[in-house]
Amino acid sequence: MEIQQQKGVGNSKVVKVEKEESWDLFVNQASNEGHPVVAHFGASWCVTSLSMNYKFEELAQTHPEILFLYVDVDDVQSVSSKLGVKAMPTFFLIKDKEVVNKIVGANPDEVKKMVDASAESFGVTAPPDIVKLLCDRGCFLVRLYRYLAVAGYY
């Protein structure tokens, strides 16, 4: 997926949305290319939101077919308001520019289920055992697996 990436930290696969125009661009581009979007709405001061960052990044690393966005509700209030975000963290699954699922609260298992179900419906899935093994072995192996999967070797 050719999504224009904004400046990030390190090898993050999560794109931070800085303004409403960026949100519109990312969601429209993903929709045009047939990719689902998973968005994490949080705040830098919200401990429960921050606690989900690692899991969200892990999901982004293992699901390259999905666009993962992070929106700070204080920085992009218009998008947060438009989607009715009232608590952090809130996660949205968006397909074809429409919200198809919403999870409120720091529930990593539910977010993972939502992402896995979306990946299955998208038609590209990784065997759960290999993903767990790779995640247990560290980021290098996750990146290697992602590269091999995207390149068509796995």
Q: Quote the CA–CA distance of 3 and 37 in Å, as a whole number.
A: 11
Predicted local distance difference test score (pLDDT) of residue 142: 53
pLDDT band, residue 150 (cuts 50/70/90): low
Residues 24-83 pLDDT 10s: 999 999 999 889 999 999 999 999 999 999 999 999 999 988 999 999 999 999 999 999
Q: How far apart are CA 104 and CA 110, in angstroms?
A: 10
Mean of the per-residue pLDDT values for the chain?
Answer: 82
Closest CA to 90 of 114, 64, 67: 114
Question: Can you give the pLDDT at residue 146?
Answer: 60
Q: What is the pTM of this model?
A: 0.74
17 Cβ contact partners less than 8 Å away, ≥ 6 residues apart? 6, 23, 26, 39, 69, 70, 71, 76, 79
* Structure tokens given for 106: 């720091």
6-19: average pLDDT:
73
Whether the per-residue pLDDT at 121 is higher than 90: the answer is no
The full set of domains in the chain, from first to last, is 14-145 (3.40.30.10)
CA nearest to 95, candidates 23, 6, 28, 147: 28
Taking only the tens place, the pLDDT of each residue in 79-107 is 999 999 999 999 999 999 999 999 999 99
Query: Given this model, what pLDDT does residue 8 score?
Result: 41
